[in-house]
Structure 1
Amino acid sequence: MDKGEGIYLYDIDGNEYIDCASATFNLSLGYSHPAVVKAMKDQADKLIHVTSSFQTEPINQLARKLVDLAPNRITKAHLKVSGGSVANEGAIKMAQRATGKRDVISLFRSHLGQTMMTANLSGNAFRKANFPLAIPGGLQVPDPYCFRCFYGQDSSSCNMMCVSRLDDFLEFASSGSVAAILVEPISGNGGNIVPPHGYFQKLRAFCDTHNIKLIFDEIQTGIGRTGYMFAAEYFEVEPDAITVAKGLGGSGAQVAGILASDELSGLSSSDHSFTYGSNILAASAALTTLDIISKPAFLKNVQETGAHILSRLERMKEKFAFVGDVRGVGLMIGIEIVDEKGKPDTILTNWLAEKAMEHGLILRTSRYGYGNVLKIRPPLILTLEEAEVICYKFESLLEEVMSV
């Protein structure tokens, strides 16, 4: 690849691609957003980095702004982390410290990071297969995957078994000492699974009953991706902590944070801080990103462009039998690919992702190629006209399947 601008990426031969993966789902404002680039250049002339032992105005401003934008329960921001994986680990430490308990519950198919701890908490066996060092205290439970319900139920009458059965897991599968439930509001790598309405209210009540902290991994769903600043707002729930990264950098700045309630605050810097956490250059990019994305008109555009793509995909679902399900919120959209029996078709999914580049689209698949969901998550600056171009190109890609 040679250069990028907005939603487009160009290779060294001059070919143009619409990046429907926003790089690694982190370019919320697309490639080289001029306001983000200017903010970083201006900050670079003053100070690029200083140890997080010192306070700086960009970091203080970023902490305040994140707390202001977050749900009411969130009162603190911990920015001494430089990536999503270590943000999740830090939130776990906070929950363990606050509760005095140990275990962490996560969901089937979850992707919580690449460090040893977060890989062990992953809801995918292949993530753990190559590493003999297993970290105790992780417990995976069925996710709210209504299209392929673990319990064989229908969402209209199941009474949220994926929450009500957690008492059994607590009693029979845990150590009896559960500190936190760490969950992606919409599964990022796991297949873009959108929980049914009411799921998080029941999960919040379960956590309150058992003194378990509810941590939202909003590394992919946060910072406007769903058409809301945080997916917690869309689902109308207040977690005890929210982790952020990826899209917070706007056009690729490496920045992350842990947003937490008063009860989870107070973690010592000796317990969780990193050399390139609280980086001033990254904070300047994040502040500009938040200024842009937090505007109501910007978030409304994310909702409208996402709704347009979902509507077009629903029509494609009627046309192409191998499209089993279409789901998403805002510009976090998934298309489930199935075979003639309705089973996951991983081979076709990966073929479509590879073939997409011939149609000028960059697509990512679920579960590192082990899954059967194509993901459409372009930069949030997408216009309705560009959304229609994506739909046209994607439908042309699907039509190619019929001719093979």
Structure 2
Amino acid sequence: MSANIEFTKGSGIRLYTSHDEEYIDAVSGTFNLALGYSHPEVVEVLQKQVKDLIHVSSSFTGDLAADVLNSILEHAPQGITDGWMRDIIGSTANEGAVKIANKFNGKNEVISLSLSHHGQTLFATNISGNAFRRKSFSNTMQSQHAVVPAPYCYRCPFSAKYPNCGYLCAEAVYDYVEYGSSDHVSCMIMEPILGNGGNIVPPAGYFERIKQICEELDIVLISDEVQTGIGRTGYMFASEHFDMEPDIITLAKGLGGIGIPTAAILYKPEFAVLEKWEHSYTSGGNLLSLGAAKKTMEIVSREGFLQNVRDNGIVLGNLLNGLKEKFGHFIGDVRGMGYMWGLEIVDKDGAPDVKLTNRIIDNALTDHKLILRGSRYGFGNVVKVRPALTATVDDIEEICGRLDKIFSQVKTVTHASYSL
């Protein structure tokens, strides 16, 4: 993505340069603009807060933090009744969730999924399933961590076929606990939909099996909803839609509405084990973050808001699948729900085509003023489409219309490889 473009204002899903050039952001910034750019209601709250008081120690914001937390917990899955609001980013929220699990059971090993992304601090990078992030820092990472296969049906690592696969990817947890662990597995952290790893949507029944395994092996189940939470999938919490039944949930990104950093950890009451000084940050639970989160929850909770995301998400999915039918020689798979979709780009043999993926994204920006993102920070082969939750059907049609023009420029060259 070009760093030479300077945006000076934004509204909804659109960004504008100083020369009034209009771009469409089809990915909500870095998936953190649940309400798009400059949502007037959130802006009004922030303007008033900036004028009145920007910062005060979290020692004095407890009542406001509790109020915001309660507004989130009202919509949480059954059994999730408590929480923590001393984070501002997903990385530290996920670290906090692991701290809670470790203190709760006195163990220290973490299991995650291949292709998973749980943050970019040293610890969060270490427990993620994307090895490319750790290559330069292997000598600084010491925590106990194991990766098991993701429920990636399109490229099943076992070459099995759902639904007759026996959930081999889930059963791999048993193998690690039995043969690879030191009998100190504390928790398993997983995204309901693997976001950065390629918008991987687990098949029906997968989470039910995972929950059974975690209960049998006494493993705390953490749902990383940094990307999927607060309506991204058309449901307030994707973990509830998938019947994941986690013990702990982490939130960030969309919780701030228009890009204000804020995060939360939610959990069942028995996991309220941390002391304030064990997980707290200078800007955690600050006044701007709390104000943005409270207004965002109010807006997303309004009658019809999430239903609209679900309904429009079906339209978006249908249009993207229509593009797959038209350009099936390089779009291998389309998967997602709500406003969280991915298109897997492949070569003539069906293998991941990372080069073409990045060319599509670059061409979208330079020639069509459409902002897209790819999986695995440019190392992956999935084009992600995730507009703000406020995007209309007209917006969705415009995004897909531009995608159609972009894909139409993909020409077949020698030996059926592709270029733009």
Identify the TM-score tier after normalising by the shorter chain.
Answer: over 0.9
Shift of 1:244: 0.4
Please, which of 306, 312, 315 is the counterpart of residue 313 of structure 2? Answer: 306
Measured in 2, the distance between the counterparts of 1:141 and 1:164 equals: 9
The CA distance in 2 between the partners of 1:261 and 1:48, in whole Å, is: 32
Using the TM superposition, give the Cα deviation of residue 122 of structure 1 relative to its aligned residue in structure 2, in angstroms: 1.6
Q: Does 1:355 align with 2:356?
A: no
Q: Residue 388 of structure 2 is aligned with which of 358, 362, 379?
A: 379
Deviations 1:311-330 (A, max 9, x none): 11112111111000000010
Matched to 2:187, the amino acid is A
**Per-residue displacement from partner, 1:225-250 (whole Å, max 9, x unpaired)?**
00000101210232111100110000
Q: Is the 8 A contact 1:137 1:175 kept in 2?
A: no
User: C-alpha separation between the residues in 2 aligned to 1:350 and 1:300?
Assistant: 33
What is the Cα deviation at residue 402 of structure 1?
A: 3.0
TM-score computed with the length of structure 2 as normaliser = 0.94
Question: 1:85 & 1:370 partners in 2: Cα distance?
Answer: 21
Moved more, 387-396 or 167-176: 167-176
- For the pair 1:396 / 2:402, whether they are aligned, the reply is no
Tell me how far apart the structure 1 counterparts of residues 64 and 143 of structure 2 sit (CA, whole Å): 38
Aligned twin of 2:341:
333
Q: How many residue pairs were aligned? A: 404
Match for residue 201 of structure 2? Answer: 194
More moved, 262-271 vs 240-249? 262-271
Measured against aligned partners, the alpha-carbon deviations of 1:2-42 in whole angstroms (never above 9, x if no partner) come to: 11111101123322111111111101000000000011122
The residue identity in structure 2 corresponding to 1:332 is M
Distance in 2, Cα, partners of 1:149 & 1:288: 41
Fraction of identical pairs, as percent? 47
Q: What does residue 100 of structure 2 align with?
A: 94
Question: Residue 287 of structure 1 is aligned with which of 294, 299, 303?
Answer: 294
Distance in 2, Cα, partners of 1:128 & 1:161: 27
RMSD: 1.2
Structure-2 residue corresponding to 1:129: 135
Q: Which residue of 2 aligns with 1:259?
A: 266
| Residue equivalent to 2:233 | 226
Aligned position for 1:44: 50
Structure 1: segments with no counterpart, 5+ residues:
none
Deviation string, structure 1 residues 38-87 (Cα, Å, up to 9, x no partner): 11122233332221122444312101111111112211120011110000
The aligned runs of 1:233-248 (5 Å cut-off) are 233-248=240-255
Please name the residue that 2:415 is paired with.
Answer: none
Does structure 2 conserve the Cα–Cα contact (< 8 Å) formed by 1:70 and 1:230?
Answer: yes
> What aligned pairs does 1:158-177 form with structure 2 within 5 A after superposition?
158-177=165-184
Deviation string 1:87-133 (CA, Å, 9 cap, x unpaired) is 00000000001111110000101110000001111212211100121
TM-score, L = length of structure 1: 0.98
Q: Does 1:17 align with 2:26?
A: no
Picking from 318, 330, 346, the partner of 1:322 is 330
**Which residue is 1:59 aligned to?**
65
In structure 2, what is the Cα distance between the partners aligned to 1:200 and 1:16?
42
Distance between the aligned counterparts of 2:240 and 2:104, measured in 1? 24
- Whole-Å separation in 2 of the counterparts to 1:338 and 1:378: 23
Could you list the structure 1 runs, at least 4 aligned residues long, displaced by more than 4 angstroms after superposition: none
The aligned amino acid for 1:339 is D
1:147 equivalent among 154, 157, 166? 154
Residue 352 of structure 2 is matched in structure 1 by 344
Which stretch shows the higher mean deviation, 271-280 or 37-46?
37-46
Where 1:85 maps in the other structure, the secondary structure is: helix
Q: Which residue matches 1:207? A: 214
Give the whole-Å Cα distance in 2 for the aligned partners of 1:244 and 1:91.
11
Q: 1:268 to 1:57 in 2, by over 3 A?
A: closer
Gaps of 5+ in 2: 1-6, 413-419
With 291-300 and 335-344 compared, the bigger mean Cα shift is at 291-300
Matched AA of 1:44: V
| Rounded Cα–Cα distance in structure 2 between residues aligned with 1:266 and 1:36 | 33
Structure 2 SS opposite 1:353: helix
Amino acid at match of 2:60: F
| Alignment-mate amino acid for residue 150 of structure 2 | D
The residue identity in structure 2 corresponding to 1:12 is S
Does 2:112 match 1:103? no
Given that 2:148 and 2:172 are in contact with CA atoms closer than 8 Å, whether structure 1 keeps it comes out as: no
